């Protein structure tokens, strides 16, 4: 076991944190388990591929556009489909997002085909030396961007009026509504924000590895694993949980071989659920 493996794990963990952050945000504020989050991630990668593969853009230039586009798609989805369902039966929103996830997979298949795609970039395969450790350049970029996006999310939630509205709606939607906060709009904005974070994760994932219409599900479960480890409500916790998961995965691949990378994550996820479901999942205020 060399330090390179450890470094690769830490850096890959940044991507997991980015995916987990969106899931955690949506669950913390809306109380919604979004089973279509993996498709939001892959959707971001496919949207970017339109610019990168077909028009020759750099993936990092396409990234803000993909984020904005996913947010625009996500906003009405939450406002007019999912928010009304949140007041219905307990399982309805979950089943609806399951349906959305299938629908999105089918649309990806129809629009882009089933063969694996990747976002070509000059830094996709090159290596870099950091403190004497060899790592892939793309993961360094992804890690840096994750830190920036996590910090931005934290600042928006804690330092802005919109962030206060989100935290108020999360803590007590009824009281927030009485105080003049448009809770439905806050929900839709939060979902759009989570979708934008997902799209960013998708573009970076697409540069680091190839993706297919069905790649969303493993990413979704990785995101849930991050949330399970971190608990709800702390951006820093999400970042640490992502890194922990990345290291665990990287080390287990080093020990058992590549086929086990996902198995280990799912088993870790399940063990965390089994050992401390209440403690890790206690709903706190977002931010």
Partner 1 sequence: MTLTPTLRRWWPAAALLLATTVCFALGGVLDNGTLDLGVTLLCYLAIAQAWNILAGFGGLVSLGSAAFVATGGYAAALLLVHTGLSWPLAVAAAPVAAMLLALLLSAALLRLRGDYFSIGTLAIAIALQALIRNWDWAGGASGVTLPVDAVPSGGNLYQIAVLVAALAMALTLYARHSAFGLRLAAIRDNEPAAAGLGVAVRRHQLAALLPAGAITGLAGAVIAFQFVVISPDSVASVSWSLNAVLMAVVGGMGTVLGPLLGVAVVYYGLTRELQSQQTLSLVIEGILLIAIVRFAPQGVWPLLCRATRRLLGPRPGSGRPAADSGKETETAPPGTEPLAVDLA
* Residues lying near partner 1 in the complex (CB under 8 A): 33, 35, 81, 84-85, 88-92, 94-96, 98-107, 109-110, 217-218, 221, 224-225, 259-260, 262-263, 266-267, 269-271, 273-274, 277-278, 281
Based on CB atoms, which residue is closest to partner 1, 59 or 242?
Answer: 242
**Which of 186, 200, 209 lies closest to 149, judged by CA?**
200
Minimum CB separation from partner 1 for residue 220, in Å? 8
In the complex, the smallest distance separating the C-beta of residue 284 from partner 1, rounded to whole angstroms, is 16
Q: How far is the CB of 272 from partner 1 (least distance, A)?
A: 10
Least Å distance, CB 130 to partner 1, is: 31
Complex with partner 1: residue 122 or 256, whichever CB lies closer: 256
Gap between the terminal Cα atoms of the chain: 37
Q: Measured from the CB of residue 100, what is the shortest distance to partner 1 in angstroms?
A: 6
CA triplet 167, 94, 273: central angle to 5 degrees? Answer: 75
Considering beta carbons, is residue 125 or 270 the nearer one to partner 1? 270
Strand 127-130 with 133-136, pairing: antiparallel
DSSP letter for 31, please.
Answer: -
Tell me the three state secondary structure of residue 128.
strand
Q: Would you say 8 and 250 are in contact if contact means Cβ atoms under 8 Å apart?
A: yes
**Judged by CB, which is closer to partner 1: 3, or 263?**
263
Cβ 46 vs Cβ 198: under 8 Å:
no
Nearer to partner 1, 136 or 252 (CB): 252
Phi, psi of 275 (to 5 degrees): -80, -45
Task: Note the Cα 281 to chain centre separation in Å.
Answer: 18
């Amino acid at each position: 076991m060399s330090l390179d493996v450890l470094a690769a794990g830490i850096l890959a963990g940044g991507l997991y944190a980015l995916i987990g952050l969106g899931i955690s945000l949506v669950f913390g504020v809306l109380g919604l388990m979004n089973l279509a989050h993996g498709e939001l991630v892959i959707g971001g990668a496919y949207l970017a591929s339109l610019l990168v593969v077909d028009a020759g853009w750099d993936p990092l230039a396409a990234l803000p556009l993909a984020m904005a586009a996913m947010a625009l798609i996500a906003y009405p989805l939450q406002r007019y489909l999912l928010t009304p369902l949140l007041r219905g039966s307990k399982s309805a929103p979950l089943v609806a997002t399951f349906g959305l996830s299938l629908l999105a997979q089918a649309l990806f298949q129809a629009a882009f085909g089933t063969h694996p795609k990747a976002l070509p970039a000059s830094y996709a395969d090159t290596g870099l030396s950091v403190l004497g450790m060899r790592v892939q350049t793309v993961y360094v970029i992804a890690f840096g961007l994750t830190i920036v996006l996590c910090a931005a999310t934290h600042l928006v939630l804690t330092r802005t009026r919109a962030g206060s509205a989100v935290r108020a709606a999360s803590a007590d939607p009824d009281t927030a509504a009485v105080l003049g906060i448009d809770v439905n709009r806050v929900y839709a904005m939060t979902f759009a924000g989570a979708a934008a974070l997902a799209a960013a994760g998708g573009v970076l994932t697409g540069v680091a590895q190839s993706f297919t219409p069905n790649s969303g599900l493993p990413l979704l479960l990785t995101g849930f694993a991050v949330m399970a480890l971190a608990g709800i409500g702390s951006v820093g916790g999400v970042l640490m949980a992502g890194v922990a998961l990345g290291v665990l995965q990287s080390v287990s691949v080093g020990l058992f071989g590549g086929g086990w990378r996902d198995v280990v994550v799912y088993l870790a996820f399940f063990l965390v659920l089994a050992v401390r479901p209440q403690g890790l999942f206690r709903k706190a205020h977002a931010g």
